[in-house]
Every structure is written in structure tokens, then in C-alpha cells.
Amino acid sequence: MSVQETGAWFHTTSWALVISARADRGDLELLLRAYWSPVYAFIRKKGFGPHDAADLTQEFLADVLVGRDLIGKADQARGRFRSFLKTALRNFLIDHRRKAGSRKASPEFGLMQVEDAGQMADDGSQPAADEPSNAFDRQWAAAVLALAIERVESSCKQEGLDQQWTAFRINVLGPLTKKTRPLTMENLAETVGATGPEQVSNMIQTVKRRFRRTLRQVVAETVNDPEQVEDELANLRTFFS
């Protein structure tokens, strides 16, 4: 799923949404759609093919997250919702392995051993080289980025900053999300109708400042402790560096 497609469903995964999803069917649907891609990415990295991973994703969201009311059991005081979700997902895959009834599945599917599930390092961090967890977080990061982009684009267009947005999209977002090559300032100025390189550079800086503020706001909506915002922003920079 592309950044834009992910963002279409990821309007927010704040704790406010998690809490409201317990009673509101619409918010529940929104929450499930927001986390479909991260859960699917996690399961794929465990070695499952696309069809099996899609089935397991649907089973986890429907039977575990909703059926066992994990949303109702999630505790905001214990930290990030996505960390809670990854722990539940690890346990779900372990249960799936148990039900399969064969230890031969372990090398083929790469499922962790039961005793490794949910283990933390001595310093309380996640075990190193946890590729499924990284895959989950990359999809989450893509969704956060997409939401920030959506909000900035909307605000720019509402305020008549179409030229500024276009310059930012071409020379900042393109290289970041699509790996395109930025234009020279001269060519970019001509493309967006600016008077020259200096003006178009100022246009980009205007939207960059807005984007940084918006990204911080989006990230703040996904954590319960303001002190976690900087850590989350650092994680985002890691995924998109």
C-alpha cells in the first residue's frame, strides 16, 4: 500500500480514537483500517505468503482485536497503542503455530519460539534485529507521514499557497517518498511561476516550517506522554532517511 493509500485510512491512531472505538462502530472501523497494513507487514516478515498473511491479518483484527476485546483491555497508562498491538500480534502468531501442531513449521515460517515471545532485553528494549516489528513500524511511519502531508496540502490550498505547496511537493516530498530527483532552483521557479530561485526557495521554507509543526502535532496525537514525541520523531527520521 502506498503512502497516500495508507494515509487515506490513517486519520489518527490517538488514544482518543482507541477509546472511542470501544463504543463507536465507525471509529472501530477506522482503527481497524488504520492498522491493517502494519499488521499485514509484520506477518509477511514472519515468512507467510501474501494470501496467508492477508487471511491471518483479517483473523487477528476480527477475532482477536475485536472478538477478544483487546481494544477494551488496552491501557493508555502503559504506553503506545502500537506496542500493545505488536505484543498481542506476537502472541497470536504463537497460538497459530501451536494450533498448526507441527514444530516443522518453524523454519519455514520463521515464527519465534514460545519462550521468546514478548521477551525484552535486559535494558527493557525490544530484541535486536526484530524485522517483523520494524516492518510494522515502517507502515505506521508511512501512515503518520501521509496524514501530515494530507493536512499540510489541505491547509496550503485553503490559504491560497498553491505555488508554495507545488514547490514543496516537487523538491521535498518527491525525493522523500518517490525517490525522484529535485529540480534546480531555476527550473523549479519556472515550473511553479516564481520570479526566481530566491523566491522559490522561500516558498519551500514556508511549507517546510508548516510541515514540521504539523508532523509534530500528528505524532503527539499518537502518544499519551508528551516526552515521547521526540523519540517518535527520531524513529520517523530513521525510517525515511
**The pLDDT value given to residue 169:** 97
**The pLDDT value given to residue 12:** 43
Cell of 149: 502531508
pLDDT, one tens digit per residue, over 168-185 is: 999 999 998 888 999 999
Environment class of residue 174 by beta-carbon count within 10 Å: exposed (0-12), middle (13-18) or buried (19+)? middle
Single pTM value for the model: 0.68
pLDDT at 114 exceeding the cut of 90: no
**The pLDDT value given to residue 128:** 37
**The pLDDT value given to residue 125:** 39
**The pLDDT value given to residue 127:** 38
Mean pLDDT across the chain = 80
Helix 131-158 crosses helix 81-100 at what angle (to 10 degrees)? 140
Cell of 93: 502468531
For the segment 62-79, the average pLDDT, to the nearest whole number, is 83
pLDDT, one tens digit per residue, over 129-161 is: 468 998 998 888 888 888 899 999 999 999 999
Q: Which DSSP string corresponds to 10-65?
A: -S---HHHHHHTTT-HHHHHHHHHHHHHHHHHHHHHTT--HHHHHHHHHHIIIIII
Domain extent listing, the chain: 3-132, 138-240
Would you say 115 and 92 are in contact if contact means Cβ atoms under 8 Å apart?
no
Q: Is residue 151 within a helix (H) or strand (E), and if so which, with residue range? A: helix 131-158
Q: Is residue 190 within a helix (H) or strand (E), and if so which, with residue range? A: helix 185-192
For the segment 73-82, the average pLDDT, to the nearest whole number, is 76
Cα–Cα distances in angstroms (integers) from residue 40 to residues 54, 142, 170, 225, in the given order: 6, 14, 30, 27
Give 25's pLDDT tier (boundaries 50, 70, 90).
confident
For the segment 211-237, the average pLDDT, to the nearest whole number, is 85
**The pLDDT value given to residue 178:** 87
Residue type, 204: I
Looking at per-residue pLDDT, the higher value among 73 and 115 belongs to: 73
- Taking Cα atoms as reference points, which of 201, 167, 209, 142 lies closest to residue 1? 142
Compute the distance between CA of residue 112 and CA of residue 132 in angstroms, rounded to an integer: 11
Q: Is residue 206 within a helix (H) or strand (E), and if so which, with residue range? A: helix 197-220
